[in-house]
Amino acid sequence: MTRPTKIEVNCTTGVQSVIELTDEEIAQREADAAAFAEQKAAEEAAAEALASLKASARAKLVAGQPLTEEEAATLVI
Amino acid sequence: MPNTMKLISSVTLSSAQASMDFTSIPSTYTDLKLLASMRVTDGGEGTTPPLSRCELIINGVTTGTSYNVNMLYGIPGAVPSVLAAGGLNSSRNFYSGSADSSNATAGVFSNVSYLIQNYANSSLPKAILIDDVIENMAKTCMCDIRGGSWNSTSAITSLSLRPYNLGNFAQYTTAYLYGIVKS
């Protein structure tokens, strides 16, 4: 399997080189991708929870029902 | 460009690459400005907007606590949002710029500007300002501004840009590194 490569520019000499990634660099990329996927899932879950709270708060307002503290916090700063 | 901005180095990809690394950055300037126009070869994170987040690695440091960023972003049709993302934990989720993914309109690249102030200072952390536009020539685009810092007193000698999700930068992706002098 072909190793991924990167381009490196030496700003002092101006030399540009295409270099194969090392095992460590490949492992770091994979770890970062996994960490990012986890973070993104957490963000999406939080956004979904907030949207759900807001929808619930809105519906209760319209219906004249009391809001929970969490629901009120989405409407009032 | 203003005459206080001097081109240090630039790169234009003739083929897909996993990262673009600027090394041995001279310490003779006051600030650094990195201008990047990026696209990746994979589908990134979806279609709305069609982007792949990237990261800026400084001096090869991959420790999460070394970076901090907050982001204000806007997508057409949505309320602008603020996201505090990254740093201060062991996982480095430093959202530093984005590339158009393969889901974007063909031939469209992102436009990202990084300003790193006082980069050669060896006693203070470094402030970083990032302006980012993910263009798609359609409604599904995004723009954001990010303020952050590199929480190290070490002078910055290398910068590396790479996509977050194991993707590669596409052919014709470019990056221009400028040094800014006081006058």
**Residue A12 in this model has a pLDDT that exceeds 70:** yes
Tens-digit pLDDT profile for residues B16-64: 999 999 999 999 999 999 999 999 998 887 767 788 888 888 998 877 6
Q: CB count, 10 Å around CB of B65?
A: 14
* Partner-chain contact A28 B62, CB within 8 Å: yes
Per-residue model confidence (pLDDT) at position B90: 37
Q: What is the DSSP letter of B66?
A: G
The set of residues, in sequence order, having a beta carbon less than 8 Å from that of B74 and lying 6+ positions away, is B80, B81, B142, B143, B144
pLDDT tens sequence across A22-36? 999 898 888 878 877
Contacts of A43 in chain B (CB under 8 A): 83, 85
Q: What's the whole-number mean pLDDT along residues B61-77?
A: 68
Q: Do A32 and B164 touch (CB under 8 A)?
A: yes
Interface of B with A in 73-92 (CB under 8 A): 83, 85, 91-92
Q: How many Å apart are CA A54 and CA A60, to the nearest integer?
A: 10
Flag whether pLDDT at B114 surpasses 50.
yes
Answering whether pTM is above 0.95, one says no
Q: What ipTM was reported for this prediction?
A: 0.85
Residue, of B174 and B146, whose pLDDT is higher: B174
Top pLDDT among B8 and A47 is at: B8
- pLDDT at residue B82 in the model: 58
Helix (H) / strand (E) containing A55 = helix A23-63
Residue of B85, B73, B84, B113 whose CA lies nearest to B97? B113
Question: Which of A4, A38, A40 comes nearest B18 by C-beta?
Answer: A4
